Structure 1
Amino acid sequence: MRFSYSLLPLLLLAITQCTTSNAQWTPAVNAIKLPDSLIFTSNTANNNCTVVWHPVLQRYYSLRIGAANFPLETWVLGSSTSVCVATTAIDSRGMWYNPATNTIERNCLGALGWATFGIDAGSCATGAFTTIFPGQLQATAQSCAAFDPVLNEVLTYSAATTSVEFRDRATGTLVQALLLTGTSFANVNTESIIWTGQAGYEIGLLNWATKRVFLFSRATGAFTGQSQLPAAAVTHTQFRFCYTNNRVWLFNATLRKWNAYCIWQQTCGMDVLPVELLAFNATCDGTPSLTWSTGSEQNSSHFEIERSTDAREWTFAGRVESAANSQQLIEYAWSDPEPLHAPVVYYRLRQVDLDGGDELFDVLTVSGCGTRSSTITAYPNPTTDLLHVSINVKEAIEGGRLELRDAMGRPVSRRSYRSRLGETAPVRLEWAGSRSIPASIHRCAGRYG
């Protein structure tokens, strides 16, 4: 199920995907979540419009919309962690790669127009820009534009008229307002539009309610197909939807993360993510309890839970069967029937494929859960020189120690003991009589482990 590539073939694949394909692609009935993801370093990046791929520099770029001082970040191929952080310098919306100039360009808020996009010698976005054309060269003030590199046209969507405005990139003038037809537009994302370049399916919109990508013909504006996103996909009414590097991208504002999806029948067999883990949590409910959920699964056999007291040496703790194949949200739960007794216990989740491959997920900690407790009964009380103690513990004890201490904390008598699970351990404490120990309050305490 998993695929591995040497570095050179992987780079060649990425470059090929960014060029116009001669083969015609058709929409997949069900879109597939891909491994690709881009996570913002900045914790203020919570509302995004577009991510764009530069095929020559092998970089992804994305920014938070809304102000000139919002974050602009850069990612290298194959990594979800950004490598450069800058600011947008101008209130930006959509972005696209222009092969004619080998640059990234963008449309901005309202009448700010179109602008260039600065990239330094290290291929990091800088935010530096020059205005290409001023004015509102888009359907609405908030429009997130896309780009047709073949006809050299910038396109934006008007939800009010369900039409697409095409403008000449060379002049900024309106070329056409194309009416879209053939489906309901009631729950369509109002500001975002995508350009796929696939004949007959060039234009794309997002139905945020049904989580479907609608596709339309550039020639006629007619609805020509759709692809159903996974149930766990996070959608938005205005922004956070785009297309680049032959992938649909959706932005999760909570995680500050772009996730990629394949919507094409001919390409969705590549690099499928075996399990999309949405959440993994640990709580203490009398015993350590783990819960996790998946948004999609492919050829998954089961999950294994492993635990440790030092996060270095791990042991098997339990197994939960998985759904094998699913495109729906599935929730799992597991409780530790025999918890380890340590101040902190570490848990991790291992997903195992039907073909034997596996993947480890993040480590979680549980503190002070399942702590051992015992009941101590002592008689006679008060006493002078002999004390009978009964200790009832919740598990087997080896190397237990019972101590009698005086008011100053000094040991008066001590004994070792052991017990089996559920049994009471009798312990006899003696000392040299009342004349050797002044009358006072003494404390009896047990230790083990």
Structure 2
Amino acid sequence: MLKYLLAVSTALVLTSAGAQAQCASLATATVGPISFVSAVTAATAPNPMALVYNPTRSLYYLFYGGNSSYPVEVFSATGMRLTTVSPLGYDFRGVWWNPTTSQLEGNGYSNASIVAKPLDASGYPVATTITTIFAAGNGLSMQNVGTYDPVNNEMVYYSGGTIKRTSRATNATVASAAVTGLPVATTNLNSNVVLYTGCTGREYGLYDAVNKAVYFVSRATNAYVGTSQLPSSAPGNTDFGVTYANGQLYLFNYTTRTWNGYTVVSGTPTAVAAPAASLPKLELLPNPARGQVQVTGATGPVRLLDLTGRLLREQATNTVSLNGLAAGLYVVQSGTSTARLVVE
């Protein structure tokens, strides 16, 4: 585990930050190749909100909304369920991976706030813990399932035929306008979900729950630019249960409790290799240290681990208390960056 942790800052990592491709709409969507079968029953958590891909760990997270006590499930890249973490600690609607901060982020019910969900050393969400990014949301409705555009550093929302973009840096509104040229009435569309595809000129997608189709929308013009038709057997999800992760559209089958994948565009960027030299470097002062250590270069919560990878402490501030720790070697981690710390 230590070898892995220390190698993170020198190995190549996968990130979709800044990656956008010239994509073509597939007139007919293809099914597969991966499905994710939930072990969480409808009685426990009925409303699936998002399936999110973490490219640095090749993990998928299945989030539910409706109550802060609901769980989140973690899957491998091949669709194997690895663990379930509960309670979630927040009533999420939209959830996304932010490749710049290397963390899970999301918006809450009723525009409650924008938050980050910390991960442990294995890349699994930490139960209960939430870090607030903005104290209030800036969406369009109480049930908005927001998404994230890493190229323009914007959070994106949809409701009632309107797409709204807000700055991830300030939470201020960037633009809000009705989508033009749609081939159907907006009442056909999933009422809360907008998809971000990462494709130039086809950045957004809206799901037609009646005709089982995805309608692509240009960020530049806010106009409809194309359609991908799904099989007639695709779920007709009207409120939630529609998401986009790692270049795939996913629809939730409420009967089988399964996220089924569909390919709706060609040329979609999934994960782009980036040299680790571009990653922020953690610096620890002093090092060796006793009492406390200052961490600079953190891109998210700061974690202190022992040599087995066991999480000892996690906090949002850059000052880490070392009180009560035995003398020896430890690992400090933030995002995908790590540094060795000697405690005296």
TM over 0.5: yes
Alpha-carbon distance, 1:265 to partner: 3.8
State yes or no: 1:40 paired with 2:41: no
Which residue does the alignment assign to 1:182? 181
Inter-partner Cα distance in structure 2 for 1:19 and 1:169: 14
Alignment partner of 1:110: what SS?
Answer: helix
| Aligned pairs, number | 251
When residues 87 and 206 of structure 1 are mapped into structure 2, their CA distance, relative to the original with a 3 A threshold, is same
Alignment partner of 2:187: what SS?
Answer: coil
- The TM-score, its normalising length taken from structure 2, stands at 0.69
Unaligned runs of 5+ in 1: 1-13, 268-449
Give CA-to-partner distance per residue, 1:243-272, whole Å, 9 cap, x none.
1100001111222211111002457xxxxx
Which residue does the alignment assign to 2:121? 121
Inter-partner Cα distance in structure 1 for 2:178 and 2:111: 24
Which residue does the alignment assign to 2:225? 224
Inter-partner Cα distance in structure 1 for 2:108 and 2:47: 15
When residues 82 and 39 of structure 1 are mapped into structure 2, their CA distance, relative to the original with a 3 A threshold, is farther
Matched-pair contact (CA < 8 Å) for 1:190–1:238: yes
Alpha-carbon distance, 1:45 to partner: 3.5
The residue type paired with residue 208 of structure 2 is N
Which residue does the alignment assign to 1:132? 133
Alignment partner of 2:31: what SS?
Answer: strand
Percent identity between the aligned chains?
A: 32
Matched-pair contact (CA < 8 Å) for 1:84–1:125: no
Matched-pair contact (CA < 8 Å) for 1:46–1:254: no
Which residue does the alignment assign to 2:76? 76
Give CA-to-partner distance per residue, 1:330-375, whole Å, 9 cap, x none.
xxxxxxxxxxxxxxxxxxxxxxxxxxxxxxxxxxxxxxxxxxxxxx
Inter-partner Cα distance in structure 1 for 2:106 and 2:70: 15
Give CA-to-partner distance per residue, 1:149-176, whole Å, 9 cap, x none.
01111010121xx111111111111111
The residue type paired with residue 242 of structure 1 is T
Unaligned runs of 5+ in 2: 1-12, 269-344
Larger CA Rg, structure 1 vs 2: 1
Inter-partner Cα distance in structure 2 for 1:238 and 1:168: 25
Alignment of 1:400-439 (within 5 A): none
Alignment partner of 1:87: what SS?
Answer: coil
Matched-pair contact (CA < 8 Å) for 2:181–2:224: yes
Inter-partner Cα distance in structure 1 for 2:21 and 2:169: 29
Alignment of 1:277-316 (within 5 A): none
Inter-partner Cα distance in structure 1 for 2:213 and 2:96: 23
Which residue does the alignment assign to 1:207? 208
Inter-partner Cα distance in structure 2 for 1:245 and 1:51: 10
When residues 155 and 49 of structure 1 are mapped into structure 2, their CA distance, relative to the original with a 3 A threshold, is same
Inter-partner Cα distance in structure 2 for 1:250 and 1:110: 23
Which residue does the alignment assign to 1:145? 146
Which residue does the alignment assign to 1:107? 107
- The TM-score, its normalising length taken from structure 1, stands at 0.54
Inter-partner Cα distance in structure 2 for 1:266 and 1:103: 25
Matched-pair contact (CA < 8 Å) for 1:217–1:223: yes
Which residue does the alignment assign to 2:275? none
Root-mean-square deviation over aligned CA pairs: 1.8
Which residue does the alignment assign to 1:25? 23
Inter-partner Cα distance in structure 2 for 1:243 and 1:52: 8
Which residue does the alignment assign to 1:255? 256
The residue type paired with residue 180 of structure 2 is T
Inter-partner Cα distance in structure 2 for 1:85 and 1:39: 16
Alpha-carbon distance, 1:222 to partner: 0.9
Which residue does the alignment assign to 2:300? none
Alpha-carbon distance, 1:79 to partner: 2.6
Alignment partner of 1:83: what SS?
Answer: strand
Alpha-carbon distance, 1:15 to partner: 4.7
Q: Which runs of 4+ in 1 moved over 2 A?
A: 18-23, 79-87
